[in-house]
Amino acid sequence: MRIIAVDPGFDRLGVAVLESKGNTVTLCHSGCITTRQEDELATRLRVIGDEVRRLIKTHKPEALAIEALFFNTNQKTALSVAAARGVVLYGAAENGLPVFEYTPGAVKVAVTGYGHAPKNQVAAMVKRLVAIDAPEQKLDDEFDAIAVGLTHLAHQKGLAS
């Protein structure tokens, strides 16, 4: 099974493509889709949408896994992230991909065993669970996207609850 996983964001959106064969998980791609703060909302959303479509066409995933939104106190940021997330969901629907959502707590439990694990603990476990080229060059958003993907694969195998 090959999936694309997304850690939603607006300035920077983490993406990862993972493939599972038996008990082996391979990271095929990870990165961040970045948008320029000086661009208009519509332009930034187009950048996200275009890149999601390109990744789907290039990697041909069977599903999309995405982290559910966690609303913080900054409403402007939450609305922008929600808009970016909507563009990602549209890209999945446009390509016939089923979408699976996981809460931040569910991702942390699946990867670390603890639902309140800090970001550095999530990143450390991701590095243990999947081979990553140049992990020191990866951003938190990439590790979060990989963690979302690992969560989905674990749920598909019935290994996580």
| Banded model confidence at residue 161, pLDDT cuts 50, 70, 90 | very low
Find the helix or strand (DSSP H, E) in which 32 lies. strand 24-34
Categorize the per-residue pLDDT at 71 as very low, low, confident or very high, splitting at 50, 70 and 90: low
For residue range 96-139, what is the model confidence (pLDDT) as tens digits? 999 999 999 999 999 999 999 999 999 999 999 999 988 888 89
Q: What is the chain's length?
A: 161
| Side-chain-facing half-sphere of 89: CA atoms under 13 Å | 14
- pLDDT score, position 137: 86
Helix/strand/coil for 2: strand
- The CATH topology of domain 2-156 is Nucleotidyltransferase; domain 5 (3.30.420)
Give me the numbers of helices (H) and strands (E) for the chain, helices first please.
5, 5
Q: Which of 7, 19, 51, 144 is catalytic?
A: 7
Cα distance between residue 25 and residue 42, in whole Å: 36
The domain locations on the chain are 2-156
Give me the mean pLDDT over the 30-55 stretch: 97
| 13 in Cβ contact with 144 (< 8 Å) | no
pLDDT, position 47: 98
pLDDT higher than 70, residue 10: yes
Phi then psi for residue 22, to 5 deg, are 65, -125
DSSP string, 79-134: HHHHHHHHHHHHHHHHTT--EEEE-HHHHHHHHHS-TT--HHHHHHHHHHHS--SS
What pLDDT score was predicted for residue 76? 75
Residue tagged active-site, from 51, 67, 142, 144: 67
- Residue 144 among the catalytic residues: no
Give this prediction's pTM: 0.93
Structure tokens at 58: 């290039």
- Whether 11 is catalytic is no
- Three-class SS state of 67: strand
Catalytic residue (choose from 19, 51, 141, 144): 141
